[in-house]
Structures are given as structure tokens and as C-alpha cells.
Amino acid sequence: MGNGKADERGQYGAARPATMRLARVHGKGDMRIDEVPVPKIGARDVLVRIGATGVCGSDLGYVAGGGLGGDAELLEPLAIGHEFAGTVEQVGDEVVGIAPGQRCAVNPDRGMIGGGGGTGAFAPFILIPDARAEQDICFIPDTLPFDRAALAEPLSVSLHGINIGGVTPDSKVVVLGAGPIGLCTVICLRHRGVENIVVADLSDARLERARALGASVTINPGRERMVEKIGQAHGTGERFGMPFVGTDVFIDAAGSPKALEDVLDVAKFRAQIVIVALHKKPVPMNLWKMMANEFSVSGSIADDRKDEFLECLAMLASGSIDVSPLISHHFDFDRLEEAFETAANVDGSAKVIVTFPQAA
């Protein structure tokens, strides 16, 4: 379904500019808006005109750390932005099942978009190499706004963790952290029919959003005994003289060593602990308790989640769950620096969305 050797005109016939602005990291604390050529497509590629891109915590981390993390030296500027949706602008001759004008969200996994793959979504256009319909380019209805469609990426991160944890509608679940991924986890738990959801976070503003999205109990460990409150919500017991709480699945979306240590200490027989958060330091674990209670600790990075991405898009398109409390701010691309500053404010923001003008 390619469009032949496309010229430099967009889907509406308007001439595309030769260059565009692209957000890239040049070093620690050094994010710049660089002027770069608008990508030219190959035979199997698709060019997408971006409508909305979400600011992820990893984007903030890339800027603060000056790269992808670890000891790797930044050899060239790092393009960032991986939560996005827009409109197919141009299609290569050999692309099948994709046509200009189709609205889509893009699964960034295969091309490592915004995470070292050379392309990033804080720009008006993005090249999707070797594009595949409903795998990389995932179509959305006209009724689904771009800002909502861009949520499919963080939602699918959360859904992947839920799947790893084996959550069922009857599960008693604790979510550590009510940042964007923690809030996305609440949404996905609701989507899967879970009602017994406890959320813990140090920010009352974020806990308020968690309640608005469907958390049944919220806990602020800064002034409440977290384990005691979890026990009140999920029940308590004792095994081999060790107290436990009745939680079936703990999902760590906080990255707090203290909170994780606390739940590891009271995990029940065959409980599941899923680590979605990025922990920057090792966390000690009592392996005797792990052995005696046969609980499992699993990581979840969500780098191969086509089905989960599509499921989240379908959920968003259906409108079955009101996700509006998740989005706290919208900023035009011209205000990108302000968008990042706002996203870094834990109490003052949740998911921050950057928007781009669409061709008339």
C-alpha cells in the first residue's frame, strides 16, 4: 500500500519543511532543541507526523544523567521521546497495510525509539523504519484523541507487569508508587476487573489521583504505618512464626528501597512481587523468608509487548475507564523545557503531554 516515490509534500498536499526541531540530550542537564533534516523514508519506512508525546520519567533521567545511564559515554546526541501518537504522513513503496492519513500510536520497542535508537518523538516528524501494521504502527479511531492514544505506551508497561504478576480479578494488589506508571497500573488493574487495589506514595496529590482512578485504599508511608494499613486492607496471618499480609501481588512502581524491603519482609506464601521501577542501588533481601514462603520476585521491562500495547489502545478507544485524572498538563512543543520542569514536580504533576500542530 505504498504511495510510490513520495515527494516532499505531506498527506494534505502542503509542502513539508526541509528541516525540523528535535529534542536531544548533549550531556548532563543539557537538553537542546536541534535543527535537523526532516527524515527521508526508504522503501520499507513510514514517516509519522506527531500529534502528542508524553514526558516519561526515563526522559527526565536521560537529561539529568546525560545519556542512557551506566558508564556508557555519550558519543552523539541522544534523541528522546517514546510515548507518542500521530498521523501517517508518508509511506515507502514496499510498506504493506499502511497508508497516508491513518491515525496511529507507535509501539517504540523494535527501533528503541527515544532510547538509543537514533530517533525520538519530541519532534514534529519521526521515521519508523521497516514499519509493520498493527505491530509498530497501531491504528486508532478518529474518536481517540492523540493525547489519550499516547498513553498506550506507559499503560502497556504497567499491563506487562500485571501479566508477569499473574493478576486475576480476585487478586489483592498493592501498588508501590503513584507516579505515572503507578497510576497507569491502577488503570490497567481496573481494566482487568481488579477492585481490591491499595496504593502507597509519599505525595498526597498523587494519592488523590490514584483514588480518582479507582484505588480502593491509599497510604502515605510518611505519616502512616504502611504494612499495618496493608494488613487492614488485605488481612494478616502467620507462617513459621513470621507475620504476613494477605496481598497476592505487589507491584513496585516506586523504586524505593525502604518500601520494597518492607513488603518483602511480609510477603505471604507464594505472593508475587513485580519490579517495574528502576532501582539505582541494590536492595537487600532475606532469602530464607523467600525460600520459606516460596514468594517470587520478577522484573518487568516491557520491551516486547505488542499484544499489551494493542490491548491498551483498545481500552482507551472504548472509553471504558476514565483516564483523564492521569493527564495533569498539556504543553505546546515550543514550551518543551517548561513541560520537563513540570513533569519533574512530583506533587504538581502526573502525566505531562507535549502537543504538536497538525496540518490543516
* Same domain for 100 and 220: no
Span 97-119, pLDDT tens digits? 999 999 999 999 998 999 999 99
pLDDT of residue 11: 53
Span 247-284, pLDDT tens digits? 999 999 999 999 999 999 999 999 999 999 999 899 99
Element (H, E) at 357: none
Q: Between 8 and 236, whose confidence is greater?
A: 236
Give the single-character DSSP code of 54: E
Alpha helices in the chain (DSSP H): 57-65, 146-149, 152-164, 180-191, 204-213, 226-234, 257-266, 287-293, 306-318, 336-343
Gap between the Cα atoms of 199 and 206, Å rounded: 10
The three-point CA angle 63-326-279 to 5° equals 45
Report the phi/psi class of residue 205: left, alpha or beta, with left for phi > 0 and alpha for psi in -120 to 50. Answer: alpha
Span 193-237, pLDDT tens digits? 999 999 999 999 999 999 999 999 999 999 999 999 999 999 999
Residue 266 forms part of a structural domain: yes
* Same domain for 185 and 147: no
Residue 123 forms part of a structural domain: yes
* Same domain for 208 and 82: no
Q: Which residue range forms the structural domain that includes residue 38?
A: 19-151+323-355
Residue 10 forms part of a structural domain: no
The three-point CA angle 126-127-128 to 5° equals 115
**Which residues is 86 bridged to in the sheet?**
50, 104
pLDDT of residue 303: 86
Gap between the Cα atoms of 131 and 140, Å rounded: 16
* Same domain for 273 and 146: no
Gap between the Cα atoms of 155 and 158, Å rounded: 5
* Same domain for 201 and 273: yes
Residue 60 forms part of a structural domain: yes
pLDDT of residue 304: 87
Q: Choose one of 299, 315, 341: the last residue of a domain.
A: 299
* Same domain for 99 and 158: no
Gap between the Cα atoms of 32 and 35, Å rounded: 10
Gap between the Cα atoms of 155 and 276, Å rounded: 12
Predicted structure pTM score: 0.94
Residue 105 forms part of a structural domain: yes
Per-residue pLDDT band for 318 (boundaries 50, 70, 90) equals very high
* Same domain for 293 and 191: yes
Gap between the Cα atoms of 302 and 107, Å rounded: 11
Gap between the Cα atoms of 41 and 127, Å rounded: 7
Residue 145 forms part of a structural domain: yes
Write the CATH number for 189: 3.40.50.720
| Residues composing the chain | 360
The answer to whether the beta carbons of residues 175 and 197 sit under 8 Å apart is yes
* Same domain for 193 and 116: no
Residue 124 forms part of a structural domain: yes
Grid cell in block for residue 273: 512481587
Span 20-65, pLDDT tens digits? 999 999 999 999 999 999 999 999 999 999 999 999 999 999 999 9
* Same domain for 205 and 76: no
Mean pLDDT of the chain: 94
> Any idea of the CA torsion for 282, 288, 289, 294, to the nearest 10 degrees?
100
* Same domain for 337 and 292: no
In this structure, the strands spanning 217-219 and 296-299 are: unpaired
Sequence letter at residue 177? G
The three-point CA angle 101-104-106 to 5° equals 135
* Same domain for 172 and 266: yes
The answer to whether the beta carbons of residues 53 and 96 sit under 8 Å apart is no
Asked which of 60-74, 144-158, 200-214, 292-306 is least confident by mean pLDDT, the reply is 60-74
Q: Is the pLDDT of residue 7 over 90?
A: no
Residue 84 forms part of a structural domain: yes
Into how many domains does the chain fold? 2
* Same domain for 51 and 27: yes
The answer to whether the beta carbons of residues 340 and 56 sit under 8 Å apart is no
Backbone Cα Rg of the chain? 21
Write the CATH number for 58: 3.90.180.10
